Amino acid sequence: MRTSVTAKLFIAIFATSLLVAVAMGVGARISFTQGFLGYLNEQGRARIESVMPDLVDAYREHGNWEFLRNNSRAWFRLIRPPRPEPDAAAAAATDLPPDVEMTGLNLRVAVLDEQRQLVIGYPQVGPSAEMRPVVVDGRTVGWLAMVPFQEVTVAADVRFQRQQLHANLIIGGLAGLLAAAVAFGLARAFLAPVRRVASATRRLASGNYAARVKVSSSDEIGRLAGDFNQLAMTLEKNEQMRRAFMADVSHELRTPLAVLQGELEALEDGVRPLTADAIRSLQAEARHLNKLISDLYDLSLSDAGALAYRKVELDVAELLHSSLDLYRERFASRGLRLVEAPSSTEFKVLADEGRLRQLFVNLLENALRYTDAQADGSGQLRVSIRREGGHARIDFEDSAPGVAPELLPRLFERFYRVEASRNRAHGGAGLGLAICRNIAEAHGGRLSAAASKFGGVQMTLSLPLLTPSRNT
């Protein structure tokens, strides 16, 4: 049978409180026995020492113990405490008896003869009694015995002890009930937030990503509730992204397939003649479909950390220059200027040449697709590389149209395309920049987007350098 956390916490608090109550009771008992009774016994010893000279004088006067045998009056007169001085008695503010009276000495002291036979006093002198020899003229003529206070028990003492035990039991019972009530309340108070988190966790596990927990404190439980809410929000966002991703993938795959199917049916039905233009159109749709599938595959490998990278030492400036040369004619055919800032310095990095070229090509394709040619010839893409700390910084700055500042971070989301002039019917699937960012991060770098001073978008790639270099 499993024990709930509430029961465990209740038992722990209740047991602790009960142990504290028992420890206090035992401590009080020990303190009473060893403290107060010890004090009374110590006072009795002091009184014995004060009685001894009078007892010696009385024996010397009578020559034997017969004057005390069965003579209680003489005995009590002998051990009676000394009367206070008249001035001291007048100054006394209370009617309390002298301190020796409180020790009960007259009830627990006895006189024994030389053979340790009882003469007078307490009759049950046992081995635990303290014995003092009565020495007269150098000879031990008897013994003065004092029985410990603990052994002198009369009916009143027994009743008192029983009353104290009964009172202690009542106090202990009340303390136990109070401890149980406090433990129960604390257990419920402490575990109520945990139960709410557990209930919300079950709802979250069942697919209810809108489950939230009210944060009512700033302690560890409150932070746990806050972390749960953050987890729930992240899962909800991921679920929304998953659904949007699936919808976008199906849409992006369906479009070229529909075009291919329509073209083929038109050719089959004779509606469209099999010409070079028709073949080129089919090839373009097939290339688009192949590019989309390749991007999806690369993205899935990148997310899983399984995208292959064969890193070698290379000059990223030289790789960037060769990539730009491949696009100069295409930019010129669209009326755009491709400007490369000159640099004669090597920028050595440890990178996969193929993946890094793929990153550059995606950025160039993106700029080529979404940059407008201007009538005044100002449409352009400016590419520069420079050293910034221990990194090589590469900037791709294109001209209008631009992107709203609040939308710039979303450019790296999968299938995201700005619903403005930068979104074209012939545009890509919205996966290129997501792949670019993954490639940059796999090289220990960073890819970010900002507004360009030319009116478009500035893509900044930062890669760690192997050795320091300087621009000239």
CA quadruple 189, 190, 196, 198: dihedral positive or negative?
A: negative
Residue linked to tokens 């749709």: 285
Predicted local confidence at residue 2, as pLDDT: 59
Question: Which whole-number Å values give the CA distances from 282 to 251, 258, 263, 277, in the listed order?
Answer: 19, 11, 7, 9
Average pLDDT over the chain, rounded to an integer: 79
Predicted local confidence at residue 351, as pLDDT: 94
The highest-confidence range among 1-15, 381-395, 421-435, 456-470, by mean pLDDT, is 381-395
* DSSP state at residue 314: E
Residues in Cβ contact with 255 at an 8 Å cutoff, skipping those fewer than 6 apart: none
Cβ-count burial 207-231 (b if 16+ within 10 Å, e if not): eebebbbebeeeeebeeebeebbee
Is the CATH number of domain 312-464 3.30.565.10? Answer: yes
Residues 262/278, Cβ–Cβ less than 8 Å? no
Residues of the chain with CATH 1.10.287.130: 220-303
Residues of the chain with CATH 3.30.565.10: 312-464
Predicted local confidence at residue 94, as pLDDT: 44
For 220-303, CATH gives 1.10.287.130
Q: Which residues pair with 140 in a beta bridge?
A: 135
Tokens at residue 303, please? 């997310």
| Lateral strand order in the sheet of 118-121 | 118-121, 109-113, 139-146, 130-136
Phi and psi at residue 94, in whole multiples of 5°?
-130, 170
Burial of 24 (0-12, 13-18, 19+ CB in 10 A): middle
Residues 328/380, Cβ–Cβ less than 8 Å? no
Q: Can you tell me the mean pLDDT for 201-208? A: 88
Rounded to 5°, the CA angle 422-423-429 comes to 125
102-154 per-position pLDDT tens digit: 455 667 788 888 888 888 888 888 887 888 898 988 889 898 888 876 666 54
Higher pLDDT, residue 3 or 336: 336
Share of the chain above pLDDT 70, in %: 79
Separation between Cα atoms, residue 89 and residue 86, nearest integer Å:
5
52-109 per-position pLDDT tens digit: 888 888 888 888 888 888 888 888 888 776 655 555 554 444 444 444 444 556 677 8
> Residue 6 pLDDT > 70, yes or no?
no
Q: Beta strands 348-351 and 446-451: pairing type?
A: unpaired
26-54 per-position pLDDT tens digit: 776 676 656 666 666 777 777 778 888 88
Residue linked to tokens 């710039």: 408
